[in-house]
Structure 1
Amino acid sequence: MRKKWDIRIGTALMSCLLLAACGTNEDANTEENNTNTTVEEENNTSANEEANTNANSGADEAEMVHIGASQIVEHPSLDAAYEGFKEGLADNGFVEGEQVTFDLQSAQGDPNNAATIANNFVADDVDLIFANSTPSAQGALQASEEIPIIFTSVTDAVGAGLIESMDQPGENITGVLDLHPESIEKTVSFIDEYFADSTVGLIYNSGEQNSVAQIEAVEAAVEGTTLEALTRSVSTSAEVQQAADSLIGEADVLFIITDNTVVSALETIVATANDYDIPLIVGEPDSLERGGFATFGIDYHSIGYRTGEMAAEVLSGEKTTADIPTEYPADMQLFINQEAADAQAIEWHADWDDQAELME
């Protein structure tokens, strides 16, 4: 009798253990299934969030304004104009990375490259072209009659065929010139007063309309003075040193206009001026900081800033380029670099202390 009860009790215990084991496995499977479901849901949520983020980023990118910026060569004056342009835009609601993107490209001194850059901007369907130099503006205008073009660092926009007149620039182009109407006349008068009976050496790129117009203005301005103009023409910045050396012993004063090719190699001219005690007159304050002696100049950052304001008016739809007259620089004054005066053995005149903004 006892053996039967032992068997029954053992059987019952085994059944309980099996039921408990099955319950544990079912709970584990249920928990695992719930965990897998949660992970899958989280993965799906993350994927959806990422897709939404990418979609929104794409939408933001599509809504951004895209500006192509073309610069004939890299040197401090043009660089300052570009920075001023971006600042003028930012102060008027077009901040880089938020409302606008920029594609800055340098033509490395080659007008053919400037034309290629402009054509690429047209192919990229940019919203506006910032042309920083005469060749850059010419290339942009040849590439498109529809995309708005805002230029600066241009001396003679009418002579370069960019605009019809200062008041009526054109259907898709306007900007700010980099030469005050009185700049060359004042510079020549300054040289005539303080360096009378001098031969003035001029180096320029005859392929730049910007430079040809200035040289012609200098030659006209020296008529009736005690001065004589002596020119040297270059086609690349590599030729500047040779041109400067050829003026040694012939030029009493050097006058470097705002020629992009020559200014990009200004240090070689500064070295010649310092070695042979030749006063070096330059066309803008940035060249003064690089070793020039004096200039009746403008601030390139300020003309760049003004073009940024113009661009903001166009991009916001307030105006078209045809509504905005081309402008001259607002201000001009005499700047003198005292350290360069010492390096070039220039006799100091007391009235310069009052007439000029002095740099050391």
Structure 2
Amino acid sequence: MKRLKTLASAVVAGTLALALAACGGNGATTETTDEGSSTAEAATGSTYKIGVLQLTEHAALDASNEGFVAALDDAGIDYEIDQQNAQNDQSACQTIASKLVNDGDDLILTIGTPAAQAVASATSDIPIIGTAITDFAESGLVADNEAPGGNVTGSSDLTPVADQIDLLQQLVPDAKTVGLLYCTAESNSEVQIAMAEEALDEAGIAHERYTVSSSNEIQQVVESMVGKVDAVYAPTDNTIAAGMATVSMVANENDLPVIVGCDTMVEDGGLASYSINYYDLGYKAGEMAVEILTEGADPAEMPIEYLAAEDCQLIANQATADEVGIDISGLEDAEIV
């Protein structure tokens, strides 16, 4: 197993990304929850109003949401939380953002870049914590990842892309051409694709971009890769992650190994990944929220937080490996699902 490179170097490479875009779907859901109180809260008698805007439903984003709430609970603060899900619809993101701002929330959690963009455009006053966002600065959400300078901060889901490409080489050593699969409307995917291209260039492996603009195009695009590439790389792209069952159905039937950006994509049929833990990512965002709410921390002075490289987990899917004919027995310390 190859040693993980530091995520700090990946942040520098992320500056190759394009400007922010958004992916879409329909509808919204709401949930309000009351939780317990801490010593600090007992002293003030405050009940904090927290809004949550999650871009869409898939396992990684759901885990981030759960981690965030767990951090609030562990801190023991008294809060009411308004859970909203835009179902991957950008117009719904805008509508929900306006609602949360008009409700006068004390803090808003945004899960996914388009969700953060919508809320940031709706308020410059209410503190915003973002999570499951690869590069806050390249996405236009903060002035600088080390010194945000406004009302937005949070935790980044930047993954060790170069190590994921090393993993691809380890599992598919004869790969001559790699297909890069992502949604063009996700700026954070552009960040990771540029990083993957750099790593593939260094390895002397050809690559070609295969893009979708919505989930409806996934099956056709993956089918178009068959016979043209020897392996596929798909980063932590919300549209691809939500449609991973379709990706794996087509790819696995055609013996096409897919290296992916996170653990939940492996669980949904991808071959393998070096992955961050999205629950831990959301928990870190929750800790930041508690600092803002109870200690008066200023988002403008709170650097974007990252999970440590050593916290990344090697994970592989045995059923997928068997189906595509890849031997994963040499993956030491890997979690096999």
After TM superposition, the score normalised by the length of structure 2 is: 0.82
Which residue is equivalent to 1:338? 318
For residues 72-99 of structure 1, what are the alpha-carbon distances to aligned partners after superposition, in whole Å with 9 as ceiling and x for unaligned?
11000000000000001111122xxxx2
Shift of 1:114: 1.4
Partner residue in 1 for 2:222: 244
List aligned pairs for 1:186-225, cutoff 5 A: 186-196=163-173, 197-225=175-203
Match of 1:176 in 2: 155
Q: Does the CA contact (< 8 Å) of 2:313 and 2:335 recur in 1?
A: no
Q: Does 1:359 pair with 2:331?
A: no
* Secondary structure, counterpart of 2:75 in structure 1: coil
Which residue matches 1:120? 99
Structure 1 spans left out of the alignment, 5+ residues: 1-59
Match of 2:118 among 133, 139, 148: 139
For residue 75 of structure 1, the aligned residue among 24, 34, 58 is: 58
- Residue 10 of structure 2: aligned partner: none
Tell me what 1:22 maps to: none
Q: Which has the higher helix share?
A: 1
Report the counterpart of residue 84 of structure 2 in structure 1.
Answer: 105
Gaps of 5+ in 2: 1-41
- Who is 1:66 aligned against? 49
Give the C-alpha shift of residue 332 in structure 1: 1.5
Label 1:74 to 1:168 Cα distance change in 2 as closer, same or farther (>3 A): same
Which of these residues, 277, 282, 286, is aligned with residue 260 of structure 2? Answer: 282
Q: CA deviation at 1:140?
A: 1.1
State the Cα RMSD in Å.
Answer: 1.7
Once residues 320 and 270 of structure 1 are traced to their aligned partners in structure 2, the CA distance between those partners, rounded to angstroms, is: 43
Deviation (angstroms), 1:63: 4.6
TM-score, normalised with respect to structure 1: 0.77
* Number of the residue aligned with 1:20: none
Aligned partner of residue 150 in structure 2, secondary structure: coil
State the one-letter code of the partner of 2:205: L
The share of aligned pairs that are identical, in percent, is 37
Equivalent pair of 1:81/1:304 in contact (CA under 8 Å): yes
Partner of 1:153: 132
Q: Deviations over 1:183-205 (max 9, x none)?
A: 11111122234323332122211
> For residues 42-61 of structure 1, what are the structure 2 equivalents within 5 Å?
none
Moved more, 316-325 or 77-86: 316-325
Contact 2:142-2:150 at 8 Å conserved across structures: no
Question: CA shift at 1:112, angstroms?
Answer: 2.6
Task: Look up the equivalent residue of 1:192 and give its one-letter code.
Answer: Q
Name segments (4+ residues, structure 1) moved above 6 Å.
none
Higher deviation after alignment, 70-79 or 286-295: 286-295
In structure 2, the partner of 1:263 is 241
SS in 1 for 2:306: coil
Supply the distance in 1 between the matched residues of 2:230 and 2:152 (Cα, whole angstroms).
41
Residue 319 of structure 1: how far off its partner (Å):
1.3
Using the TM superposition, give the Cα deviation of residue 139 of structure 1 relative to its aligned residue in structure 2, in angstroms. Answer: 1.0
Residue 299 of structure 1 is aligned with which of 269, 274, 277? 277
Distance 2:324 2:79 in 1: 46
Name the aligned partner's letter for residue 272 of structure 2.
A
Query: Which residue, out of 205, 216, 219, partners 1:227?
Result: 205
Instruction: Select the structure with the greater relative contact order (CA < 8 A; seq sep ≥ 6).
Output: 2
Q: Partner of 1:109: helix, strand, or coil?
A: coil
Q: Could you say which residue in structure 2 is the equivalent of 1:28? A: none
**C-alpha distance in structure 1 between counterparts of 2:49 and 2:162, whole Å:** 40
Which segment drifts farther, 315-324 or 152-161?
A: 315-324
The alpha carbon displacement at 1:64 in A equals 2.4
